[in-house]
Amino acid sequence: MSLLPEAAVGEAFAEASRFRDELYACLTVRGDELFELSDAVLCAPGAVHSAVELTLLPEHRRGHGAMYDALNRGRIDTGRLRSLLAGLPLPRFPDGRLVLAVDVSPWLRSDAPCSPDRLFCHVCGRAKTASQFIPGWPYSFVAVLEMGATSWTQILDTVRLGPADDATAGTAAQLRDVVERLIAAGQWQPGEPDIVIVTDAGYDVTRLAWVLRDLPVELIGRIRGDRVMRLPKPPRVYDPKGGRPPKHGPEFRFAKPETWPDPAVTTHTATTNYGKAVTQAWDRVHPRLTHRAAWLDHEGELPLIEGMLIRLEVEHLSKDRKAPAVWLWSSRTGSSDADVDRAWQAFLRRFDLEMSKPQCCHSRGSTSSSVVPSLFGIIAACWWSSQACRDWWPRERWWSRRSRSISSASAWITQERRGSLSWRAVTQPRVIQPKRVTRGMPMARARSVSHHSCSPSCCRSASACSQFFSSSRTTRRFSGSASWYCRRARSAA
């Protein structure tokens, strides 16, 4: 991780302050209270089990009546907020391309029988056969991934799926909106590498590739190991009897190696935790479509959706467990060795989204909240808890100068709080984990400049800031810490 000198700390906090000002402009009704609730979610010392707990924090300066009024009547300009998130500095792979991941996470509401539009959400248990279905609301997340040994992601969008929504059609519409916003924000220019979108086995990746074929994207998805696909049709040979030429080639059965032809690409990569990774790739492999299910209403001849089929196999998993082969399908044809390695490495980074969703939802206590989540609840609990932390604190690697300036702010915070956090083990040198980020968030909030929050730049003296915090009806024990934050921030500036 690269850090800038201490002189760039002011620029980093100025960037965070601009983000806060733009976010405040997205809150159209009850904006002051919604903004304070967002700060309270970020600065909470632990999981938030109820919205009333947020009113007891020093970041929340109003009473619990204002909190209920904001949850019931508050409004957010979601279009402007989505455009704001798309315009932020985004992590990129070493070749400069953006890699997105899409997945569904349920908001379990088993104890809320009066909540509308609930669905049975699949939840995995501790054992392999302990899966169960619990009533709740499924939400589709889209996030930007990055390389490196880190579980940080940057969430761009989240949409709730209803009972009448088609999962593939809804995901395709969501991905189209996200890609168009990224292009409008200048994150992708003509001539740059295509945007990679990674999915899991629950998505019809071939249909997504067909629906999004007019966008500069490459779809990579995992498919089941019992599938049967088709190879490209062989060259046509003259037959005096005539007849219709074949549209598909011979069958490619994943479970029968005797049906596999020689792979077009074979790579060998040494990994740290899984031994040697061997990949085999076959080009122009496609499914044989029929007028059923999603293709029932398709007019005309069914399309031929060709792509690169990749089989990934490693020597072992953690604790020397046996590793089954993983099958991937990429919408890109004619891939080289480097493209195949990039495809399966991007798929492995998809599991970072599985770590980000618990960080932005479960660790913030949103799944156990007794308040019915409104539009603000989803954005505050998910976007703010991950996106704002993401902007203020460092990733393992920052690929733009604008982003590296923000990481220097986290270095200043880490040095100031090192004494109080020195007893906790650091997994990687100079890499801040999510739990450590949440502990230093009140200090980052006090340092950032915003017309809505109290910061060292807007406080004329430490005593004024102390009086401001002590005027809240919560407790007076935060006044000393507030003045200490302001004195330390002003001396560092």
pLDDT of residue 363: 54
pLDDT at residue 165 in the model: 87
Which token pair is 434?
């999510």
274-313 pLDDT, tens per residue? 889 999 999 999 999 998 888 988 888 899 999 999 999 9
Chain mean position to CA 7: 31
How far, in Å, CA of 250 to CA of 283, rounded? Answer: 14
Output the domain CATH number for residue 128: 3.90.350.10
pLDDT score, position 406: 36
Per-residue pLDDT at 397? 31
Residue 88 to residue 220: CA distance in whole angstroms: 25
Is 146 within the bounds of a domain? yes
Mean pLDDT of the residues in the chain: 75
Task: Reply yes or no on whether the pLDDT at 46 is more than 80.
Answer: no
- 416 within a domain of the structure (yes/no): no
CA–CA distance, 388 with 396 (Å, rounded to integer)? 16
Is 386 a member of any domain? Answer: no
- Residue whose C-alpha is closest to residue 437's, from 389, 472, 473: 389
Residue 144 pLDDT greater than 80, yes or no:
yes
DSSP state string for 408-462: HHHHHHHHHHHHHHTTSPPSSTT---HHHHHHHHHHHHHHS--SSS--TTT-SSH
Give the pLDDT score at 351: 82
**Weakest-pLDDT range from 103-117, 254-268, 455-469:** 455-469
Q: Is residue 308 within 8 Å of residue 343, measured between CB atoms?
A: yes
User: What's the pLDDT band for 334 if we cut at 50, 70, 90?
Assistant: very high
pLDDT at residue number 129: 66
Each residue's pLDDT tens digit, 383-424: 444 444 444 443 333 223 333 333 334 443 434 443 333 333
pLDDT value for 488: 45
Is 59 among the domain residues? Answer: no
Mean pLDDT score, 64-76:
88
Residue 22 falls inside a structural domain: no
Does residue 342 surpass a pLDDT of 50?
Answer: yes
Quote the domain boundaries for residue 176. 83-232+247-290+302-354
- Please state the rounded mean pLDDT for residues 265-275: 90
More reliable by pLDDT, 176 or 317 = 176
Which pTM was predicted? Answer: 0.78
Region of poorest pLDDT, from 36-45, 399-408, 448-457: 399-408
Is residue 215 included in any domain, yes or no?
yes
d(CA 424, CA 485): 22
- Does a structural domain hold residue 40? no
Mean pLDDT of 189-201: 94
- What is the pLDDT at residue 187? 94
**Encoded tokens for 357:** 């969703």
Banded model confidence at residue 126, pLDDT cuts 50, 70, 90: low
> 360 pLDDT band (50/70/90 cuts)?
low
Q: Please report the pLDDT score of residue 319 as a whole number.
A: 79
> Count of domains in the chain?
1
Q: Does residue 271 fall inside a structural domain? A: yes
Highest average pLDDT, of 34-43, 126-135, 266-275, 281-290, comes from: 281-290
pLDDT reading at 175 higher than 90 = yes
Tell which wins on pLDDT, 235 or 217: 217
Handedness of CA 123, 347, 378, 166 (dihedral sign): negative
pLDDT score, position 1: 29
d(CA 35, CA 62): 11
> pLDDT band at residue 320, thresholds of 50, 70 and 90?
confident
Q: What is the pLDDT of residue 8?
A: 52
Kindly report which listed range (3-12, 200-209, 291-300, 322-331) carries the lowest average pLDDT score.
Answer: 3-12
pLDDT of residue 276: 92
- Res. 448 pLDDT band, cuts 50 70 90: low
> For residue 467, what pLDDT band results from cuts at 50, 70 and 90?
very low
The predicted structure's pLDDT at residue 286 = 95
